[in-house]
């Protein structure tokens, strides 16, 4: 996914947070300023494992620690904020408040579900139901990669326009 974007401090930025019972920030939006550095950091990741999935806690953590200016977020500059969440199952905690807060902040959550994470798991947390993508395997991620990229670019523009309209009112 990273390979398809123009990465840089004033361009597209990537951050990674892994979660199971507890979220763990792997790197912030402003940690890596080149595509090569982001890809290298991703290749070094070790998959976080756990017995329970706490998506609500992870979303709260991301809101408080990643989508903030000190971590590289440019939300205050009206730069689109996108959260791509991958999960393999249903959350063991409530997600409704955090999902609502993300929407109010204009952070567009795309939900990608592997294995037991179907539309019923993904849709309540995504920015809109059309941004829920259940896939059968990691190969399925590769199959939807280009589609996701195009939708991300389109959604970013739509959210910016909606936010600007609400500000004018």
Q: Give 156's pLDDT tier (boundaries 50, 70, 90).
A: low
The percentage of the chain sitting over the pLDDT mark of 70, rounded to a whole number, equals: 92
In the chain, the N- to C-terminal Cα span, in Å, equals: 36
CB 23 within 8 A of CB 48: no
pLDDT in tens, 119-134: 999 999 999 999 999 9
Residue 80 has pLDDT above 70, yes or no: yes
The interaxial angle of helices 96-105 and 55-65, nearest 10 deg, is 30
Q: Give 166's pLDDT tier (boundaries 50, 70, 90).
A: low
Q: For 2-163, CATH number?
A: 3.40.50.410
Report the C-alpha gap between 124 and 6 in whole angstroms.
30
Report the C-alpha gap between 16 and 31 in whole angstroms.
10
pLDDT in tens, 16-36: 999 998 999 999 999 999 999
pLDDT of residue 160: 52
Report, as an integer, the average pLDDT of 43-64: 94
* pTM score: 0.86
CB 87 within 8 A of CB 111: yes
Residue 157 has pLDDT above 80, yes or no: no
Token pair, residue 123, equals 């849709």
Any idea where the domains of the chain sit in the sequence? Answer: 2-163
Beta-carbon count within 10 A of 67 CB:
20
pLDDT of residue 52: 92
Q: Which of 31-35, 58-62, 114-118 has the lowest mean pLDDT?
A: 114-118
Q: Give 81's pLDDT tier (boundaries 50, 70, 90).
A: very high
pLDDT of residue 76: 93
Q: Which of 14, 110, 22, 136 is nearest to 66 (CA)?
A: 14
Return mean pLDDT, the chain.
Answer: 89
């Amino acid at each position: 996914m990273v390979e398809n974007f123009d990465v840089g401090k004033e361009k597209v930025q990537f951050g990674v947070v892994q979660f199971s019972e507890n979220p763990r920030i792997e790197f912030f939006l402003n940690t890596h300023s080149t595509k090569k550095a982001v890809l290298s950091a991703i290749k070094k990741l070790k998959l976080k494992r756990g017995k329970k999935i706490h998506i609500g806690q992870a979303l709260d953590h991301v809101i408080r620690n990643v989508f903030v200016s000190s971590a590289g977020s440019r939300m205050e500059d009206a730069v689109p904020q996108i959260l791509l969440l991958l999960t393999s199952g249903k959350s063991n905690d409530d997600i409704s408040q955090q999902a609502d807060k993300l929407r109010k902040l204009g952070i567009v959550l795309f939900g990608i579900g592997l294995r037991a994470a179907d539309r019923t798991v993904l849709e309540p947390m995504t920015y809109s139901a059309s941004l829920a993508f259940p896939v059968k395997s990691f190969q399925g991620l590769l199959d939807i990669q280009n589609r996701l990229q195009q939708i991300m670019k389109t959604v970013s523009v739509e959210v910016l326009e909606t936010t600007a309209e609400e500000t004018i009112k």
